Homo-oligomer: A and B are copies of this chain.
Amino acid sequence: MDSESRDLKPVFEPRSVAVIGASNNPTKWGCIILANIVSYGFRGKIYPVNPSEEKILGIKAYPNVMSVNDEVDLAVIARPAEAVPQHIEECAEAGVKAVIAIAGGFRETGKEGEELEKESVRRARKGGLLLVGPNTMGVYSASVNLCALMPPVSPRKGEVALISQSGNIGTNLLGFGSTVGVGFNKFVSSGNEADIECYEYLAYFGSDPNVKVILLYLEGVRSGRKFMRVAEEVSEKKPVIAYKSGRTQAGVRAAKSHSGAMISPNEIVKAVFKQTGIIQATTVNEMLDLAKSFVNLPLPKGKRVGILTWGGGYGVVASDVFEEAGLDVVSLSDDTIRKLSMLLPPYWSKGNPVDLVGVFDRSIQPSCLDIIAGDLNVDIVAALGFIVGSGAFAGAFGGQTHSKEGKNIVKEWIAKADEESMEYIVKLISKYGKPLVAVTATTDMEVVAKAAEKGVVVYPTIETAASVLSKMVQYAKHKKRKEEGRL
Contact = CB atoms under 8 A, between A and B. Distances in A.
A396 interface: yes
Contacts of A402: 152, 154
Interface in A413-469: 441, 443, 445, 461-463
Given A178-B399, A179-B395, A314-B169, A251 B320 contact: yes
A85 interface: no
A313 B168 contact: yes
Given A320-B245, A443-B179, A392 B251 contact: no
B314 A395 contact: no
A347 B135 CA distance: 13
Contacts of A310: 168
A400 interface: yes
B395 A178 contact: yes
B399 A247 contact: no
B249 A323 contact: yes
A165 B317 CA distance: 12
A349 interface: yes
Interface stretch (A197-205, A252-260, A336-344, A478-486): A252-260
A166 B168 CA distance: 41
A248 interface: yes
A401 B166 CA distance: 25
A319 interface: yes
A312 interface: yes
A310 B41 CA distance: 30
Nearest to A398: B178
A284 B318 CA distance: 11
Contacts of A170: 313
A463 B245 CA distance: 13
Interface string A158-186: 00000011111111101111111000000
A329 interface: yes
A298 interface: no
A314 B393 CA distance: 32
B392 A176 contact: yes
A155 B398 CA distance: 8
A254 B351 contact: yes
Contacts of A245: 313, 316-317, 319-320
A170 B316 CA distance: 14
Given A172-B441, A320-B250, A323-B249, A313 B167 contact: yes
A461 B285 contact: yes
A105 interface: yes
Interface residues of A, number: 86
A353 interface: yes
A320 B154 contact: no
A40 interface: yes
Contact of A248 (B320, B349, B394): B320
Contacts of A151: 396
A217 B313 contact: yes
B445 A176 contact: no
Nearest to A313: B166
A253 B283 contact: no
Given A245-B317, A319-B253, A443 B441 contact: no
Given A105-B347, A398-B178, A316 B154 contact: no
Contacts of A82: none
Interface-central residue, A153, A169, A320, A441, by most chain B CB under 10 Å: A320
A303 to B, nearest CB: 13
A246 interface: yes
Contact of A395 (B175, B243, B394): B175
A116 to B, nearest CB: 13
Contacts of A155: 399
Interface string A222-254: 000000000000000000000101111111011
19 contacts: A104-B347, A104-B357, A153-B396, A153-B399, A155-B399, A156-B399, A165-B313, A169-B317, A170-B313, A172-B441, A176-B395, A178-B398, A219-B316, A246-B320, A247-B324, A251-B316, A253-B319, A254-B312, A285-B441
